[in-house]
């Protein structure tokens, strides 16, 4: 399915060295993604070369910002499992929870986890609902999200899951500076503080283009007030400022 040498090269470009066994697991993941994508809408990217870049390397770029030693991570709105499943392959000391509002995606992810040997909890819930449940409220060392929503919206959905002393990693596009600046007051209301914005350029896709990425690292410095997250309609209509 995927070219092993290309996968190794792309991972090295984002700071991750992969063993053949890890690439083989990513290859299995890619094959299942293409197979299941014929039955449900999981991804618009099915070209093997571009899957390596836009799914796997993109996800692995966050690896260097994970804690040392054993840790817990929740991937909020996990979709087809990015970035959390590629990260779990390179960090077997991760205790992984994947949350999504669409149960059929979680069925796919359970099949992938079984095939590639990853242990994970899957949670069928809306992000704003589960974040107020005792089982998930401020229980995680790390929360991740790879989504197109603006950062104040993502932060409200995600920071309630992160324990004080933990971090939220938001995977954003290349032009995130203005968005980050605008989001800082909202992040502060939610108990967070923007620590850093890490910019990088992904390896070239099939068309020879190199996409930029920004990984926004937000520290959780105090508890999130109980009122957050608000219902999704309020979050969308009136983002925090």
Domains of the chain as residue ranges with CATH: 68-237 (3.40.50.150)
Band (pLDDT 50/70/90 cuts) for residue 7 is: very high
pLDDT reported for residue 205: 87
- Structural contact between residues 216 and 169, judged by C-beta atoms closer than 8 angstroms: yes
Helices (H), 68-169: 84-90, 103-116, 127-130, 151-158
- Structural contact between residues 48 and 29, judged by C-beta atoms closer than 8 angstroms: no
pLDDT at 147 over 90: no
What integer is the mean pLDDT of 60-72?
98
pLDDT at 148 over 90: no
What integer is the mean pLDDT of 177-197?
95
pLDDT at 108 over 90: yes
Residue 224 DSSP class: P
pLDDT at 170 over 80: yes
Sign of CA dihedral 131, 134, 139, 140: negative
Residue the block writes with tokens 């920071």: 159
Band (pLDDT 50/70/90 cuts) for residue 78 is: very high
What integer is the mean pLDDT of 47-70?
97
What integer is the mean pLDDT of 163-187?
94
What digits encode the pLDDT tens for the residues 208-229? Answer: 888 999 999 999 999 999 999 9
Band (pLDDT 50/70/90 cuts) for residue 149 is: confident
pLDDT reported for residue 206: 85
Strands 212-220 and 192-201: antiparallel
How long, in residues, is the chain? 241
Of the CA atoms within 13 Å of residue 164, those in its CB half-sphere come to: 6
Both structure tokens of 149: 């929503």
- Structural contact between residues 144 and 83, judged by C-beta atoms closer than 8 angstroms: yes
What integer is the mean pLDDT of 95-99?
98
- Structural contact between residues 73 and 87, judged by C-beta atoms closer than 8 angstroms: yes
* Mean pLDDT taken over the chain: 96
pLDDT reported for residue 50: 96
Confirm whether pTM is higher than 0.75: yes
Both structure tokens of 109: 């992810």
pLDDT reported for residue 69: 96
Give the rounded percent of residues in the chain with a pLDDT score beyond 70: 100
Peptide bond into 117 cis (omega under 30): no
**C-alpha dihedral over 239, 74, 49, 202, to 10 degrees?**
60
Strands 192-201 and 162-172: unpaired
pLDDT reported for residue 2: 97
pLDDT at 118 over 90: yes
Q: What is the DSSP string of 25-74?
A: HHHHHHHHHHHHHTTS---S---HHHHIIIIIIHHHTTGGGSPSSSEEEE
Band (pLDDT 50/70/90 cuts) for residue 99 is: very high
């Amino acid at each position: 399915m995927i070219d092993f040498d290309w996968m190794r090269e792309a991972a090295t470009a984002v700071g991750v060295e992969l063993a053949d066994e890890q690439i083989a697991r990513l290859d299995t993941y890619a094959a299942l993604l293409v197979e299941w994508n014929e039955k449900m809408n999981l991804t618009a990217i099915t070209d093997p070369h571009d899957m390596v870049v836009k799914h796997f390397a993109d996800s692995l770029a966050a690896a260097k910002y994970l804690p040392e030693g054993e840790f817990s991570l929740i991937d909020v709105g996990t979709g087809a499992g990015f970035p959390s499943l590629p990260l779990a392959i390179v960090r077997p000391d991760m205790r992984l929870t994947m949350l999504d509002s669409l149960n059929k995606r979680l069925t796919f992810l359970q099949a992938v986890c079984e095939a590639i040997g990853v242990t994970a909890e899957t949670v069928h819930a809306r992000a704003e609902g589960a974040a107020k449940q005792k089982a998930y409220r401020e229980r995680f060392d790390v929360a991740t999200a790879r989504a197109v929503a603006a950062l104040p919206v993502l932060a409200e959905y995600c920071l309630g899951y992160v324990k004080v002393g933990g971090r939220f990693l938001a995977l954003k596009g290349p032009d995130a500076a203005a968005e980050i600046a605008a989001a800082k007051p909202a992040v502060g209301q939610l108990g967070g503080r923007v620590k850093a914005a890490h910019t990088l350029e992904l390896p070239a896709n099939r068309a020879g283009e190199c996409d930029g990425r920004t990984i926004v690292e937000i520290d959780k410095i105090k508890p999130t007030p109980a009122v957050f997250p608000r219902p999704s309609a309020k979050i969308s209509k009136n983002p925090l400022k």
